[in-house]
Amino acid sequence: MGAVAAIGLMVAALVRGNRELLIQLTANRFQNAIQHGESGQTITLRVRGRLFQVSDEGPGVPVEEREKVLQPL
């Protein structure tokens, strides 16, 4: 699997929170994008204010599964 990661900050961002959990969150999002995306895809991380967004070129979560994604494990 080959993926290109594009990380861009629109402005300097100060993110407050548990450092380890934020690192885990970021790693999980990238791992998911790599695992479910296409070879050679671009993965983008955007931080704008309180918005933290990882986007990729994968198929996305099926509509019928979207509610489960937001439920605690």
Q: Per residue in 7-59, pLDDT tens?
A: 555 556 677 788 888 888 888 888 888 888 777 788 887 777 777 788 888 78
For 66, the token pair is 């979207």
Specify the pLDDT at position 5.
Answer: 61
Residue 22: partners with Cβ closer than 8 Å, 6 or more residues away: 15
CA distances from 7 to 18, 22, 50 (A): 21, 16, 16
Check pLDDT > 70 for residue 6.
no
Are 41 and 3 in contact by the 8 Å Cβ rule? The answer is yes
C-alpha of 70 from chain center: 14
pTM attached to this predicted model: 0.60
One-letter identity of residue 17: G
Kind plus residue range of the DSSP H or E element containing 26: helix 19-36
